[in-house]
Amino acid sequence: MKILTKRAFALFILSLLLVSGLIVFIISYINNASDWVQHATNKHLYKNGQLQTTGKIYDRNGEVLLQTVNGVQKYNDNEIVRKAVMHAVGDSYGNVVTSAQVAFGDRLSGWDMVNGAYRFNAQRYKPGSDMTLTLDAEICSAAYKALNGRKGTIGVYNYKTGEILCMVSSPSFDPEKRPDIEGNPDKYEGAYINRLLSAAYTPGSVFKLVTAAAAIDMIDNIDGKVYQCEGEKIIDGDKVTCPSAHGNVTLKQALAQSCNVAFAEISLELGGNALQKYADIAGFNTSLKVDGILTAIGKTEVSDATGGDLAWAGIGQYNDTANPLTFMTYVGSIANDGVCVSPKIVKDRGGILSLMPDFGSKDRRIISEETALILRDMMRNNVIEVYGERNYNGLKLCAKSGTAEVGGDQKPHAWFAGFMDRDDCPLAFVVILENGGSGSKSAGPAAGIVLKKAADRMMLQ
């Protein structure tokens, strides 16, 4: 019998194949069941190709952003709110892939892994579960108005809790009265894209915050160092220019004046590898996960750059790109003493999940506390010395502007990123206006309006 016992190995292989196939299925079930269940032919969720009912989507104050009434999707009553949160909530056709309706469709339809599509007494109770977003509809409206039809994006988040209060992207449209988007490609360019999450822009001078962080850590006696700016500098045949000669500047003054020549010299001093390291830490070259929604990747590739390329890279040009939300998270970490808090968009995680600790969001230190403090003081100094404290009265604003050259005859992108250094109002923000011109002059005021609104709303609660 020993010999047959050995030969029965064939059967053993057969049953192992069966077991491994089952394991493959279980893994695929865990990963994909939420997609399978959303197929339009699933009679548990759909009738005649229409979702029977979805849960409601609320903003953080209980304002209904989306509900289904008698099988028809109904968005917020206010048209401005509808447009302002369109990218966060999504349209009825699933065009915005990062929207709650797409990303959390399984949950909104009432599906979960344990219960499947089962709902107790489906006739009487609505199937589908509600969800609350961290957004504040009023701040979003204010941001949408501040954008005033210009293409761009405004984001505001709480750098202590990670909650995104404002996520507005323009151009937007009213999901209840869908305009002819395909017919107006210019007006609705990228209307389905949430620019805060899914775009990557040339950062321009806001990138100097990354270079400055590297300089503070890596260059000895950076406080005492003085850089001489004569308005331009030739590096290996490449010309780096400033609007005017800044004279002798320290790092602090160079950041405030946004002196390209000084930062070009600092970049050369740091070298490509150091700059690359600090850019990677700041979130470049990686995708951020916001409750499972992946952001676009901002890129910095300077490890091999030298001379003029390296100099331009250090001031946010060359081939640098930045994702708005990722960069907002970086300035948020400066505000939060160097600790990066993952941004999130879902306020209640729902069901049993809400009872368990959130393993998804990990706070991690990306800048040392000392460096973060120095950067904060320098950003505060920017506002007081250059942008004008009276424009941002009472906000205790710390910020950096950016005017990113995009080549050709196009006007530069206007960036304004920073935070409020207030314990009662710990908000970081980013404002980008595509081809908006000067960062501090066009994006700055929009940021001011939104932040004042946000501060008022926070005080109110």
Positions touching another protein (CB under 8 A) are 1-8, 10-12, 14-15, 17-19, 21-22, 24-26, 29, 32-34, 36-37, 39, 41-45, 111-118, 120-121, 124
User: Least distance from C-beta 2 to another protein, angstroms?
Assistant: 5
Instruction: Compare residues 1 and 459 and give the one whose CB is closer to another protein.
Output: 1
User: Least distance from C-beta 109 to another protein, angstroms?
Assistant: 10
Side chain identity at residue 67, one-letter code: Q
User: Least distance from C-beta 104 to another protein, angstroms?
Assistant: 16
Question: Please, is 277 exposed, middle or buried when counting C-beta atoms within 10 Å of its C-beta (0-12, 13-18, 19+)?
Answer: middle
324's tokens: 């708005």
Max Cα distance, the chain (Å): 95
Instruction: Compare residues 114 and 356 and give the one whose CB is closer to another protein.
Output: 114
Q: How far apart are CA 306 and CA 22, in angstroms?
A: 53
Helix/strand/coil for 169: strand
Cβ(261)–Cβ(268) below 8 Å: no
User: Least distance from C-beta 46 to another protein, angstroms?
Assistant: 10
User: Least distance from C-beta 4 to another protein, angstroms?
Assistant: 5
Instruction: Compare residues 231 and 350 and give the one whose CB is closer to another protein.
Output: 350
User: Least distance from C-beta 101 to another protein, angstroms?
Assistant: 19
Q: How far apart are CA 34 and CA 213, in angstroms?
A: 42
Helix/strand/coil for 436: coil
User: Least distance from C-beta 26 to another protein, angstroms?
Assistant: 8
Cβ(260)–Cβ(241) below 8 Å: yes
Instruction: Compare residues 43 and 362 and give the one whose CB is closer to another protein.
Output: 43
- Put residue 413 in one of left, alpha, beta given phi > 0 → left and psi -120 to 50 → alpha: beta
Please name the helix (run of DSSP H) or strand (run of DSSP E) that holds residue 138, with its range, or none. helix 137-147
Instruction: Compare residues 109 and 329 and give the one whose CB is closer to another protein.
Output: 109
Rg (CA), the chain: 25
User: Least distance from C-beta 129 to another protein, angstroms?
Assistant: 14
Q: Which of 224, 207, 311 is nearest to 269 (CA)?
A: 311
Instruction: Compare residues 31 and 221 and give the one whose CB is closer to another protein.
Output: 31
Q: How far apart are CA 455 and CA 450, in angstroms?
A: 9
Instruction: Compare residues 46 and 188 and give the one whose CB is closer to another protein.
Output: 46
- DSSP letter string, 266-285: HHHHH-HHHHHHHHHHTTTT
Instruction: Compare residues 104 and 111 and give the one whose CB is closer to another protein.
Output: 111
